[in-house]
């Protein structure tokens, strides 16, 4: 449409609220949606039960932080993507199916503001969902350990709550990267069935596909030994696993081969997050 040509009428708000207020309004709506969703609350409870259960079964409450990280890493590699996809796969799609995306288009909200606001709100919910069970486990370890930890350090050879805190933060970052993928899926499809199908496909790719591709690349000589650490950073799951091992297990053991490039892995997760959100912005705005 062409820009307005006539003078402003009386009594109408002429300028939209600041961008920050728009983002806040959209994000708060998402946080409320997550908090009021029984299925997501049930999922959060299930994740808490699994985290606490695995820690308990593995004697993590008495063994310490590092053994618990090792016990929890594999289950969380599987569960965090599932939970993240559940948080995001209908976030944009639901609004589109109800016709609310059309309505929102008549408000001074850009596709970028909408996607960033939706992502921010869902990210808060997901971060809490992941962080709370891990925090509960950390407190239980602190209280139940045979040999209470007195060294709050990250240097080699010491178990420390700082290592567990790193694990918690990295797990949240992993979840947020997968959430961005889910938001992209949500904005690309127009039917719930398509969203579910694409989500399953994304999960298979994230959990198995990229790792298999790296193995295939290694076997075929496409990926050289010197490139392996960077190739691992390209897969969100490998990047997460490598980051956890490199910044917790390897730090505590004080020795061993380099299993990941932390900087490359962080960049990899950031690129997945930003790239997926860019796809979502394009899809909403098309």
Partner 1 sequence: MSERHTPPSTEPVLHAQDVDHEYGSVSVLEGVTLPIRADAVTALIGPNGSGKTTLLRVLSGLLEPTGGTVTDRGPDAARRIGYLPQQPAFRPGFTVRETLQFYGSLVGEGDGATLERLERVGLADAADRPVDALSGGMTRLVGIAQATIGDPPVVVLDEPASGLDPGMSTHVFEVATELAAAGTAIVLSSHDLELVERNAHEVAILDDGAIVDRGDPGDVCDRVGVDSLRDAYEESITGDTRTVRVQGVTT
Under the rule (CB under 8 A), what is the footprint of partner 1?
1-9, 11-17, 21-22, 25, 29, 32-33, 36-37, 94-95, 98-100, 102-109
Whichever of 104 and 169 has its CB closer to partner 1, that residue is: 104
Nearest distance, CB of residue 51 and partner 1, angstroms: 27
Nearest distance, CB of residue 24 and partner 1, angstroms: 8
> Quick one: which of 10, 51, 41 has its CA closest to 60?
51
Whichever of 191 and 204 has its CB closer to partner 1, that residue is: 191
Whichever of 14 and 193 has its CB closer to partner 1, that residue is: 14
Nearest distance, CB of residue 125 and partner 1, angstroms: 13
Nearest distance, CB of residue 123 and partner 1, angstroms: 18
Within 13 Å and on the Cβ side, how many CA atoms surround 179?
A: 25
User: CA-to-CA distance for 198 and 203, rounded, in angstroms?
Assistant: 9
Nearest distance, CB of residue 21 and partner 1, angstroms: 7
Q: Are 271 and 263 in contact (CB under 8 A)?
A: no
Per the listing, tokens 């820690």 go with 55
Nearest distance, CB of residue 190 and partner 1, angstroms: 15
**What are 235's two structure tokens?**
């897969």
Nearest distance, CB of residue 80 and partner 1, angstroms: 25
Whichever of 37 and 62 has its CB closer to partner 1, that residue is: 37
Spell out the residues 6+ positions from residue 139 whose beta carbon is closer than 8 angstroms to its own: none
Whichever of 73 and 283 has its CB closer to partner 1, that residue is: 283
Q: Are 187 and 170 in contact (CB under 8 A)?
A: no
Whichever of 44 and 63 has its CB closer to partner 1, that residue is: 44
Whichever of 2 and 226 has its CB closer to partner 1, that residue is: 2
């Amino acid at each position: 449409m062409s820009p307005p040509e006539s003078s402003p009428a009386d009594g109408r708000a002429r300028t939209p609220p600041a961008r920050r207020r728009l983002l806040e309004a959209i994000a708060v709506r998402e946080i409320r949606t997550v908090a009021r969703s029984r299925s997501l609350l049930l999922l959060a409870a299930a994740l808490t039960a699994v985290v606490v259960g695995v820690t308990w079964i593995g004697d993590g409450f008495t063994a310490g932080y590092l053994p618990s990280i090792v016990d929890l890493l594999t289950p969380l590699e599987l569960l965090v993507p599932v939970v993240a996809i559940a948080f995001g796969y209908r976030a944009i799609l639901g609004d589109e199916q109800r016709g609310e995306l059309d309505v929102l288009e008549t408000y001074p909200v850009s596709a970028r503001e909408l996607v960033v606001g939706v992502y921010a709100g869902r990210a808060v919910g997901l971060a809490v969902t992941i962080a709370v069970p891990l925090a509960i486990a950390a407190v239980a370890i602190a209280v139940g350990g045979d040999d209470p930890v007195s060294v709050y350090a990250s240097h080699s050879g010491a178990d420390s709550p700082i290592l567990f805190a790193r694990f918690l933060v990295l797990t949240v970052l992993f979840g947020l990267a997968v959430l961005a993928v889910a938001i992209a899926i949500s904005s690309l499809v127009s039917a719930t069935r398509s969203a579910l199908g694409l989500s399953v496909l994304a999960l298979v790719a994230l959990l198995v596909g990229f790792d298999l591709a790296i193995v295939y690349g290694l076997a075929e000589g496409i990926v050289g030994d010197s490139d392996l650490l960077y190739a691992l950073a390209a897969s969100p799951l490998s990047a997460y696993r490598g980051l956890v091992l490199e910044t917790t297990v390897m730090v505590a053991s004080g020795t061993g081969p380099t299993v990941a490039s932390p900087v490359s892995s962080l960049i990899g997760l950031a690129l997945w997050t930003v790239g997926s959100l860019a796809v979502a912005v394009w899809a909403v705005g098309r």
